[in-house]
């Protein structure tokens, strides 16, 4: 029944924490800010992600691209830590979310899955962000969809239903592949099929904050290559 696989990106396909920590270390080094822990900074920046999108989900703010929200939340975080840097350096760091590294299994796994299914993104990232990330990391998407295509951020139902509609599919013909139980739960509530991929190092080995939302998903795998095996790819 599944006709297309749609992928969450941040955490599922790419390792945002290690990548942002690497970029933060390079940013803070010439400033002499040895007090700034790069991994903790990555966690704090990611912690502002959902509140920024909630302003759009709630209707208090019109849909705003994630690139813009990332710059705003970065400015907030730097101000909180009294960090002063050249605007060009700050602008470059704000775009670090376009330079996230894929997990080691991803390119091979996506390639195998793509041999049988169209593969698209269903991400909160905007098109330019996901496009640059894909070219840098060799991610072979058939289409880049998600928040900018539907005009809403996950986990609003229209994020999932709108993606299915764009693809000309019934919701049950679209399968969300994600490392986040909360994302999968929202997709299932909208009628999509679900595939969970375990990413134990997404939060540096700490338990995932949404582990309480776990269910019996249609598929469960430890990597995209294992998922491809389960799906007969």
The confidence score (pLDDT) of residue 19 equals 98
Task: Give the residue-averaged pLDDT of 159-174.
Answer: 98
Q: Count Cβ atoms within 10 A of the Cβ of residue 122 and give its class: 0-12 exposed, 13-18 middle, 19 or more buried.
A: buried
What average pLDDT does the structure give for the chain?
Answer: 97
The Cα–Cα gap between 30 and 187 comes to: 43
Burial class of residue 77, CB neighbours in 10 A (0-12, 13-18, 19+): middle
> Which one, of 27, 37, 43, lies nearest residue 90 by Cα?
27
Pairing of the two strands 219-221 and 193-197: parallel
Query: Model pTM?
Result: 0.96
Average pLDDT over residues 210-229: 96
State whether residue 7 is helix, strand or coil. strand
Contact 10, 123 (CB under 8 A): yes
pLDDT in tens, 109-138: 999 999 999 999 999 999 999 999 999 999
> Strand runs (DSSP E) across 46-89, as ranges?
none
Q: Which pLDDT tens digit goes with each residue over 57-86?
A: 999 999 999 999 999 999 999 999 999 999
């Amino acid at each position: 029944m599944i006709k297309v696989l749609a992928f969450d990106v941040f955490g599922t396909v790419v390792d945002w924490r290690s990548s942002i920590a690497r970029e933060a270390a390079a940013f803070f080094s010439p400033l002499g800010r040895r007090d700034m822990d790069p991994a903790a900074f990555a966690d704090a920046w990611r912690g502002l992600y959902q509140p920024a999108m909630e302003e759009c989900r709630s209707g208090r703010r019109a849909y705003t691209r994630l690139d813009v929200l990332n710059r705003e939340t970065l400015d907030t975080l730097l101000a909180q830590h009294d960090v002063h840097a050249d605007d060009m350096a700050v602008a470059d760091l704000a775009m670090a979310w376009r330079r996230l590294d894929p997990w080691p299994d991803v390119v091979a796994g996506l390639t195998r899955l793509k041999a049988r299914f169209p593969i698209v993104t269903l991400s909160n990232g905007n098109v330019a962000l996901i496009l640059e990330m894909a070219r840098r990391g060799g991610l072979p998407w058939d289409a880049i969809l998600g928040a900018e295509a539907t005009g809403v951020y996950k986990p609003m139902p229209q994020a999932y239903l709108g993606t299915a509609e764009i693809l000309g599919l019934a919701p049950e013909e679209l399968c969300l592949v994600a490392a986040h139980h909360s994302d999968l739960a929202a997709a299932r509530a909208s009628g999509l099929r679900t595939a969970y991929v375990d990413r134990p190092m997404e939060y540096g080995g700490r338990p995932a904050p949404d582990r309480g939302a776990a269910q019996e998903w249609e598929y469960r795998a430890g990597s995209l290559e294992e998922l491809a095996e389960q799906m007969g790819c």
